[in-house]
Amino acid sequence: MSLSMPSPTKHPSTGVYWLRQRVPSKILPIAKGQVVEVTIAGVNSRLKLGDFIKVSLGTKSPIEARIRATEALGQFQAVWAMLQAAPKDLTLKEIVALAGEAFRAFQRLEDDPGDPEIWSRVIEENFRAFNGETPYPFIGTEEQRYLQAMESRFGGFVDATLMHQKVRVTDSTRRKLLEQFERALRDAAELLLKRSTGNFSSDTRGDKYPSIGVAKQTSRGSSKLSLFALIDHKQKTQSQRADTFDKYRRCLRDFVKFTGHDDAKKITKTDVRGWRDALIERGLARKTINDQYLTSLKVALNHGVKEFDLAVSVAGGIRDERDAPSSNRPKGYTIDEARTILQATFQGTSKDIAVPYQRAIFWVPWICAYTGMRVSEVTQFQGRSLRVEGDVTYMLVTPEDGSTKGKNAWTVGIHKHLVELGLVEMFREIGDGPAFYTPYPEGTDLRAQTNHRSKDSADRVAAWITEEVGIIAPQNRPNHAFRHTFTSLTRICKMDKEARDYMMGSRSQTDAREGYGDWAPSVVDAEINKLPRFDVEDTGWRPTMEKVRPLAVGAASNSVSMKR
């Protein structure tokens, strides 16, 4: 079944990306009108099929949209395979296992089950269905009445589970499923009634349900499903950047510290809600909680649902819904704040730190202020990436030096004030290697370093701005604030927007023409020099240009000097 691979498209009003794919013509007659389930970033969507299948990717980020689109396309293919396959007869063990997933889904509520009357009513209504009582008049045989009552009460649970497992079953198997689901949901309701009265004694109702899947049996031999194992497996099977998975693991470590375990099967909605509330109490921003911490947990749990025998992602729907704090201050540093920081660079730091960090504290704020580059792109910059064409010297941002946005390379002009300060001279004196962190041995693949030493250098600069200069940055992001300041200044000096976005490594995702052609160094040089100079007093002081010996990967970076 050959299908063209669609790309995410942005909704013209909301800016949220969607993915749409045509239903294969071979299965269109049986697919039309079917309701299927697709899970994106932990959010389950029930989709009715027409000529197309279409799902929201739930993000405005073009990069994240491409990542999620890959995941969605895999699920689309599973849907096509399910619809094309013949209905399947399941074994009794498989049927009971599916019913067990429904039991376990409700079992996750047992820490906080609510009012006993709820579960007493559920038990009563389940019993009526089992006795063939329909909620409305029914004409037919006793057998037909029984099946109608069971379908009305339990059919939705069966459908949801079969959709989740991407499997179609025969009519005879469906009847058995209805019966086993009735028993499983009776067990679940009785358990929750017991818990709702305050009785949390040992209960063995769930022991009879085997932990196997119909279409997903990857981990049936394991009683535990580690969050970190899930992330490791996802990294092996997908092509996201390594540092993205490092961020996932860092956030998951925080969750594990909060709950005391990393077993995905034991996590409850109460755990996730409590963690979110604790993050709020710690003063974390709404965006940080939603986009980093909760997303990391949802990614792991969603992978467990998709490829292992995790029944459901209990993190779905839990978010920090607070309104964003209002602020009258600019997103970046004001001109006075930027001048204060840049002036302070001539005093260096009062702390006894390694040579590369001393250089970073002087040069990184200047480079960020005059280029708008991301701080990681500055601190990982290599002397070999300083290029000359004609009489123009420029910087080449390249993934060969470390991680870059979209794994792209681009050129950045060097402002004349930076040249006067001695930036070009400094890089040439240091040589082909890095100026702002301890070098790795020759031949090291810098793209493969998940904990690149340049990150520590960036952290040192941020701490210096906050602790020694005493300026609290907008959104508490000392280095990133220069990126906003730079952008504001480019508007004042009427720098070409396309040139600015190119040098900042944030090309338009909507205008394909911006990807045409090349940017001559003379063009980026002319545009960057439209920026006004920062009026500060140059005291003449500069940090040392001592070179440091390379250290092996994993060695402590003490930056031993090597005078030449």
CATH code, domain carrying 344: 1.10.443.10
Distance set, CA 503 to CA 57, 374, 500, 519 (Å): 29, 10, 5, 10
Residue 511 is predicted with a pLDDT of 59
The answer to the question of residue 348 being in a domain is yes
**Could you read off the pLDDT of 97-118 as tens digits, one per residue?**
999 988 988 988 988 899 999 9
Contact 350, 369 (CB under 8 A): no
Q: Whole-number mean pLDDT of the chain?
A: 86
As for how many domains the chain has, the answer is: 4
Q: 443: domain range?
A: 335-562
Looking at the fold, whether 276 and 347 belong to one and the same domain comes out as no
Q: How confident is the model at residue 461 (pLDDT cuts 50, 70, 90)?
A: very high
Looking at the fold, whether 289 and 240 belong to one and the same domain comes out as yes
The answer to the question of residue 2 being in a domain is no
Residue 217 is predicted with a pLDDT of 36
Looking at the fold, whether 431 and 459 belong to one and the same domain comes out as yes
Per-residue pLDDT for 489 more than 90? yes
CA 293 to chain centre: 9
The answer to the question of residue 221 being in a domain is no
| Residue that finishes a domain, picked among 307, 326, 348 | 307
Looking at the fold, whether 166 and 236 belong to one and the same domain comes out as no
**Could you read off the pLDDT of 325-335 as tens digits, one per residue?**
666 678 899 99
| Residue that finishes a domain, picked among 84, 103, 134 | 84
Nearest-angstrom CA–CA distance, 127 and 119: 12
Looking at the fold, whether 60 and 121 belong to one and the same domain comes out as no
Looking at the fold, whether 137 and 198 belong to one and the same domain comes out as yes
The answer to the question of residue 31 being in a domain is yes
Nearest-angstrom CA–CA distance, 480 and 8: 28
Q: Convert 490-555 into a string of H (helix), E (strand) and C (coil).
A: HHHCCCCHHHHHHHCCCCCCCCHHHHCCCCCHHHHHHHHCCCCCCCCCCCCCCCCCCEECCCCCCC
Looking at the fold, whether 236 and 379 belong to one and the same domain comes out as no
Looking at the fold, whether 292 and 344 belong to one and the same domain comes out as no
Nearest-angstrom CA–CA distance, 401 and 384: 9
Q: Convert 517-529 into a string of H (helix), E (strand) and C (coil).
A: CCCCHHHHHHHHC
* Inter-axis angle of helices 92-107 and 171-196, nearest 10: 30
| Residue that finishes a domain, picked among 292, 307, 322 | 307
Largest CA distance in the chain: 98
Looking at the fold, whether 22 and 116 belong to one and the same domain comes out as no
Pairwise pLDDT comparison (218 vs 204), residue with the higher score: 204
Q: Residue 166: which region, alpha, beta or left (left: phi > 0; alpha: psi -120 to 50)?
A: left
Contact 405, 505 (CB under 8 A): yes
Token pair for 359 = 């250089």
Q: Contacts from 397-401 at CB under 8 Å and sequence distance 24+?
A: 397/373, 397/505, 399/447, 400/446, 400/447, 401/434, 401/446
Q: Residues 443-477, buried b or exposed e (16+ Cβ, 10 A)?
A: eeebbebeebbbbbbbbbbbebbeeebebebbbeb
The answer to the question of residue 184 being in a domain is yes
Residue 514 is predicted with a pLDDT of 65
- The reply to whether the predicted model has a pTM over 0.75 is no
Q: What is the mean pLDDT of residues 360-383?
A: 96
Can you count the helices (H) and strands (E) in the chain? 20, 10
Looking at the fold, whether 422 and 553 belong to one and the same domain comes out as yes
Residue 227 is predicted with a pLDDT of 93
Q: How confident is the model at residue 210 (pLDDT cuts 50, 70, 90)?
A: confident
Nearest-angstrom CA–CA distance, 137 and 145: 10
Ranges 181-195, 243-257, 364-378, 510-524: which has the least confidence: 510-524
**Could you read off the pLDDT of 211-234 as tens digits, one per residue?**
654 434 333 334 578 899 899 888
Per-residue pLDDT for 23 more than 60? yes
The answer to the question of residue 320 being in a domain is no
Residue 404 is predicted with a pLDDT of 87
Contact 353, 500 (CB under 8 A): no
Type of residue numbered 471: I
Looking at the fold, whether 550 and 463 belong to one and the same domain comes out as yes
Looking at the fold, whether 73 and 202 belong to one and the same domain comes out as no
**Could you read off the pLDDT of 277-321 as tens digits, one per residue?**
999 998 888 888 999 999 999 999 999 888 887 888 889 889 998
The answer to the question of residue 328 being in a domain is no
Nearest-angstrom CA–CA distance, 118 and 193: 8
